[in-house]
Amino acid sequence: MIKNTHCKKALFGLTLGALLSFSSVVNAGEITAYSSLEDDEIADILKAAKKDLPDIKVNVLRLSTGDMGARILAEKSNPKHDIIWGWAVTNMVDPKIQAMAEAYEAKGSDALPKQFKADDNKWFAATGYMAAFCVNTDRLKKKGLPIPTSWKDFLNPAYKGELIMPNPNSSGTGYLQIASILQGQGEDKGWEFLKALDPNMGQYIKSGSKPCKLTRAGEYSVGASFAFIAIKSIKEGYPIKMVIPSEGAGYELEASALMTSSKNKADAKKFLDWTLSTSAAKEYAKFKAIVTIPGIEPSADAKAAGLPADVSSVLYKMDFQDSAKNRSRILKTWREKLER
């Protein structure tokens, strides 16, 4: 994604690993975005933005989901960013964060389905990511194992030691997987299911993409990961089949918002408007399994991997407010019951 540059003075006297900017216009407007999008995504998207918004300079500080929340709250008395761009909605809906956001109905947001924007216009989501299983067909065939089609199939004793999934305490993908199971089955039955599943798990790993990467390398038969890495693995020729769980795929939205404290709201609004444009959507489709902007279909690679044209048809109906409200308690319970 973005080509990282290191700058000591460009943004608040800090050394940043991913400070990105475009436009060399001397008197250009300038905004700062905090983002959890991946570096290469940001790089390509900003190249497209530069063509449409040549008079706006955008500085981007890329942070992981958890680090970004901590930074925003630490800077609460003196926010240093104009917008949040592409951050987990489960974190965005935190009342402390929402108190810092300003209602803004971005151009194009009226066309977004209701579930992809806040009722009070304090956030909208143009993209998202969804859970999926990476199945190594060569390893399954060698071991004589069936292809799982659902989370419940994972309970088959034949899969003992053949499964891997992310640790929800360190991975957003891991948390959305756990949250969808608990919401779908109810917490009591959900925890019983996860406890019954545990003996079949080879390990819980920090990264959301690593289960797929280890599976495609032949170390496991099935990795509970997310759709984009499965699609990419298939494109690169690995013996991977992407399976979307029949219960529905848990997913996370990547939300954007205008900060009340912004010193350049005019340009901040222009950029937020642009993130819902057709130009932006075409870039999203290169990286995202979920693009909420109407009229944008999955990429050819995604379709070839089995992603349906209407992605919403395979998504579990997540309750993001519930995910956010109960996050700390759920993660604590997971540590107590399952972490190893």
The pLDDT profile of the chain, 340 residues, written as one tens digit per residue, is 333 333 333 333 233 334 444 443 333 589 999 999 988 899 999 999 999 999 999 999 998 887 899 999 999 999 999 999 999 999 999 999 999 999 999 999 999 999 999 999 999 999 999 999 999 999 999 999 999 999 999 999 999 999 999 999 888 899 999 999 999 999 999 999 999 999 999 999 988 899 999 999 999 999 999 999 999 999 999 999 999 999 999 999 999 999 999 999 999 999 999 999 999 999 999 889 999 999 888 889 999 999 998 898 999 999 999 999 999 999 999 999 998 8
273, 105 in Cβ contact below 8 A?
A: no
pLDDT of residue 22: 41
Q: What is the residue extent of each domain of the chain?
A: 19-127+252-296, 129-250+314-337
CATH number of 19-127+252-296: 3.40.190.10
Q: Which residue has the tokens 């199971």?
A: 181
pLDDT of residue 303: 93
Q: What CATH fold (topology level) applies to the domain 129-250+314-337?
A: D-Maltodextrin-Binding Protein; domain 2 (3.40.190)
Tell me the C-alpha to C-alpha distance, in Å, between residue 5 and each of 17, 44, 48, 59, 70.
6, 15, 19, 11, 23
| Rg (the chain; Cα; Å) | 20
pLDDT of residue 171: 85
Which of 66, 56, 14, 13 lies closest to 36 in space, CA to CA? 66
pTM over 0.85: no
Tell me the C-alpha to C-alpha distance, in Å, between residue 148 and each of 153, 159, 205, 218, 270.
5, 10, 20, 17, 46
